[in-house]
Structure 1
Amino acid sequence: MSAKFCVALLCLNLACLVVSFHGKISGVRQDILRRAFKWEIFRGNLSVDASPGEVFQRVAKNVRRLSTRPIDIKSGSLLPVGVAEFDCERPYTQTLSTEAPTSVHRLRPGDVSVVGSIGDSVTAGFWAKTDKDINEMLAFEEHVDVSWSIGGNGTGPTDCATLSNFLRYYNPNLIGYSTGVCSTSNPSGSDACPNGNMNAAVSGSKSRDILPQAERLVTLMQNDQNIDFANDWKVVTLFIGGNDLCKYCIMDPPGWGITPAEYRHNVEITLDYLKDNMPRTFVNLVNVVDITLLDSMRDLSNCDLFYQAFCQCLDAQDQMLQMYVQEYQNGLRNLVEEAKYDQNDFTVVLQPFFEEMTLPSDDPLQFFAPDCFHFGVRGHAAVGVSLWNNMFEAVGAKSTHPAYDLDVSCPQWPFYLRTRRNSPLLNEKERPQS
C-alpha cells in the first residue's frame, strides 16, 4: 500500500466533516465511512495509488447516500420500506363480506385468507436488504420477508409495503406470507427454507420451471391444517420472464433460448393447472419487465460486471431482444383476453404496471440491489404498492408504470378486487348514500 494511500485514509474523517458541515447529513457513523470506502474499492473506483483528493471526493459522495439508507445495526442489512400512511376504510360490511362470497368477482380484500407466489429470484427477494458490502453480498441471502408480493415483515404496509401486508391490514389472520431470510443454500421455494411459507418462487427460474412451483404450492396449501383449501379465498401472484429474456440468446446448452410462443405456453399450462387444482383463487399475472431499460445503468456503479453474470443477453440495441420483450408482453395479454380463466370461483387478472416502466431520473440505483438487477428494499416497496394499486383499478384502465413515489391508493366502494367481469359494472355504479 502506498504512502499516499495511507494519507488518503486520513481524509475519511475530513470527508465526513465537510459533508456534515454543508448540512447534508449529521452524526455520520464510522461504519458508514467504512462501507463507503470499501464499496469504492470494490467498484474499482479507488486503487492503492489513489491520491487523498480522490479518496476525499469518492467517499464524501457516498457518505451522504449511505447515511440516508436505513441500516439495521444488529444485522447490517437495509431496513424494509413502508408507506408513510395507510388509513383506508375497513368497516366490516365494506371490506369483508358479511358472508364469504361465492364469486371471485365479488371478492373484497378482507375476504382473502391465503396468499401465495410463483416466480424467480425477484419474488424470492434475492439481495433485497443487502447493503453494498462485499461480505453481505457473498452470503447470497433471499430476503423473503420484504418480497413485494408475499413478504410479511412487520405487521402492516407502514412497516413494509408488500401485497401481503396490505391484505393483512384488512385481515390480520392472513396465512401464507413469508418471514425471515432464506439463502441459495437453503432456498425459497423449497422445504429447506420454511420461512418462505407459501412463496414457491425459486431463484434462477425461467418460465419452464413454474409448473412444478404451482404443483408444490397446491400441495403446501392442501397440507396446511390452518387452510380450508376448498373454501378459503386465495390470492396468488405469478411473475416470471426476466431470466428467459436474459438468457434468450444462449443456445448452449440447448433450450435456454425460450421463444415468445414457448414462454406463453409455459405460463398457460401453469395457469391451467391452477385453474383445475386451486379453487377460490384470484391470480395476479404480472406482465414481464422490459429488461432493456437496465442497459442505461450499465456504466453506473459496478452494474456492467453484474449484468455479465446475471443477464448475458442484455443489450438495449438488440432488436431481437426488443421484439422478444414485446411478444412476451403481448402473449400474456392475449392469453388473459381469451377469458378462459374467467370462471365463478377462479380468475386471472393481468397486472400491467411494468409494461411501460421507465427508470427514475434521480438516482435509479436506490431502487435496486447492489447488482443493479434485483430490487432493493425501496424497489420492492414501490412494486408492492404498484401491484396493490393495480388490483383495484378497472381492467382496461390500469396504471402501466411503477409507483416509485409509493403513492398508494385506497380501495373504493364496493371494494372488489377488479376483474374482467366486474370492472364494467363497477364503473357504471355509484356508491349509495350512507
Structure 2
Amino acid sequence: MLNHSNNKTIGLFLLVLSVLASLSSALTASSIADCPALPARSGPAGVHDLRPDDIKVVAALGDSIMAGFALEGINDGPGGTGILNLSAITEFRGKSWGIGGDDGAITLANFVKHYNSSLEGPAVGKHLVFLCGDDENCNYRHPDIDILNAAISGGIAKTLNAELDYLIPRMMQLPNVNFATDWKMITIQIGSNDQCASCGDNTADVTVEAYGNYVEAAIERIRSNVPRVIVNLVGTFNVSGVYDLTMGQEYCRPLFNQPDWILNRILCECFRGSEEDRANMDTLSAQYSAKLHEIYQKYNAQQHDGFAIAYTPATNLNIGGLPLETLSNVDCFHPGIRAHEWVSKIYCPTEDDRIRID
C-alpha cells in the first residue's frame, strides 16, 4: 500500500483492481472478464477519488519494453523460420504490459477497459521496430497501431520530450475523447537503456542528475498541457541481473556456441565490461529510483487541480531470480510475453482494496 501524506484515498486503477466488490473473487479470477464489477456511483469528486471506470484515456511513455519489442520471441518449431523470423525485429504494441489493447491480452490497459468499455488510447497490433533520435521528429510511427503508446525502442530519459511531441497532439486528435474533461492516465517506465549507456564514452545524458531532470521536465510538461491526468510513474530495476541469468544458456542462442556471445552483450554496453561496471549499473538504478521518488514527493507536496502522480518502485524485482523463459529468446534481454503479463498482474489491490499515494 502507498499512503498519501494527507491520507486522501486515490481509488486509482494504477494497480488496477482497486475498490473491488469482492477481493477474494478477484484473486481467483481466471481471466480479466471474471473480475467483479464496481458498485455504481455518480462519478469522481476529483483526482483523488478516481476509480478504473473513471479513466477514459490511457497512454504510455518509455523504451522498447513499453513498445513490446520482441516479446513473442522466435519460433523454431513447425512453421518457424529461425533468426530470420520477423518477430525478432517486431514491436508487439498491442500486448505491451502497460498499454496493450489486443483482444485477450493481459495488460494494464485491458484491466482498465474491463471497467470502462469506452476506453481510448490502448495500442493494437504490431509493426516492425523503429528507432528515433531524442531530438528529432520521428516520421516512422504507425499512429493507427501505436495510438497513445509513444514509447521509442532505444529510448532513454532524454527521449521523453520527443515522445511527448507525438503523444500530446495524438491524444488531442482522438475523435471520441473530450481532451478538456475526460480523465487520463499516462504510464512512464524509463531507465533500462540509461543504465546500459553508463559505461560509454558519452555519459552526460544518463547521470542521476540528468535522468531526474529529463523525467521531471516530462512530468511538468504533462501537468502543464494535459488536463485531468494521473501520471503512473514506474521505478527502475537492476538490469544487470540479466547478465548472469543468461550466461551460457542455449535458450539465448549464443553465437558460435560461445557461452558469453549472447545478443544482450551487444545491446547493453556495460555487459561487455567488468563486474564492477555491472555493479555500478545497480548503484545507478537505485539512484534513479530515489530520484523518481523525490520527484513524486515533490509533486504530492503541492496542490494541483486535476493532476496527481503515483509511484510504483521496482527495486525489489530480482531479475536474476526469474525463470529464463520470462525473457525473449530473441536476445535474452527484453521481457517476453510471460514477463509482460506478470508485470501487469502484480498490480493487485491490498487487503483493504484501496491504493493510496504517499
Q: Which runs of 5+ in 1 are unaligned?
A: 1-82, 394-408, 421-434
Would the aligned equivalents of 1:240 and 1:288 in 2 still touch at CA under 8 Å?
A: yes
Counterpart check, 1:343 vs 2:343: no
User: One-letter code of the match for 1:127?
Assistant: A
1:317 is displaced (CA, Å) by 3.8
CA distance in 1, matches of 2:126, 2:302: 34
Quick check: 1:288–1:355 contact (8 Å CA) kept in 2?
A: yes
Runs of 5+ unmatched residues, structure 2 = 1-28, 76-81, 133-137, 255-259
| 2:54 pairs with one of 103, 111, 116 | 111
Match of 2:99 among 134, 150, 154: 150
Partner of 2:345: 385
1:176 aligns with 2:129: no
Tell me if structure 1 keeps the 8 A contact 2:67–2:152: yes
In the TM superposition, residue 232 of structure 1 has moved relative to its aligned partner by: 0.5
Q: Is the 8 A contact 1:105 1:418 kept in 2?
A: no
Where does residue 335 of structure 2 map in the other structure?
375
User: Structure with the greater relative contact order (CA < 8 A, sep ≥ 6): 1 or 2?
Assistant: 2
Over residues 290-329 of structure 1, what are the superposed CA-to-partner deviations in whole Å (9 max), with x where a residue is unaligned? 1121122231233642122210113554343232111111
1:357 aligns with 2:314: no
Could you tell me which residue of structure 2 aligns to residue 246 of structure 1? Answer: 196
2:231 aligned counterpart, secondary structure: strand
Q: 1:211 to 1:267 in 2, by over 3 A?
A: same
Q: What is the match of residue 419 of structure 1?
A: 357
Partners of 1:273 and 1:296 lie apart in 2 by 39
TM-score relative to the length of structure 1: 0.65
Considering only aligned residues, what root-mean-square deviation do their CA atoms show, in Å?
2.5
Equivalent residue for 1:275?
A: 223
Structure 1 equivalent of residue 257 of structure 2? none
* Correspondence for 1:211: 161
- Distance in 2, matches of 1:257 and 1:248, equals 9
Q: Which amino acid aligns with 1:269?
A: A
Aligned residues: 305
| Matches of 1:170 and 1:221, distance apart in 2 | 21
Alpha-carbon separation, structure 1, partners of 2:118 and 2:53:
10
- Matched residues in 2 for 1:228 and 1:370: separation? 40
8 Å CA contact retained: 1:151, 1:179: yes
Equivalence for 2:142: 192
Distance verdict in 2 for CA 1:275–1:225, change over 3 Å: same
Determine if the alignment matches structure 1 residue 230 to structure 2 residue 185. Answer: no
Matched, 1:85 2:42: no
**Aligned equivalents of 2:253 and 2:68: distance in 1?**
20
Counterpart contact for 2:236–2:288, Cα < 8 Å: yes
**Cα distance in 2 between the residues matched to 1:226 and 1:276:** 22
- CA offset digits 1:104-147 (Å, max 9, x no partner): 11000011101000001100000011325312257511000100
Q: TM-score, normalised by structure 2?
A: 0.78
| Matching residue within 42, 45, 49 for 1:98 | 42
Q: Report the Cα offset of residue 185 of structure 1.
A: 4.8
Kept after mapping to 1: 8 A contact 2:130/2:153: no
Residue 161 (structure 1) aligned with residue 109 (structure 2): no
* SS of residue matched to 1:115: strand
- Between structure 1 and structure 2, the one with the greater Rg is 1
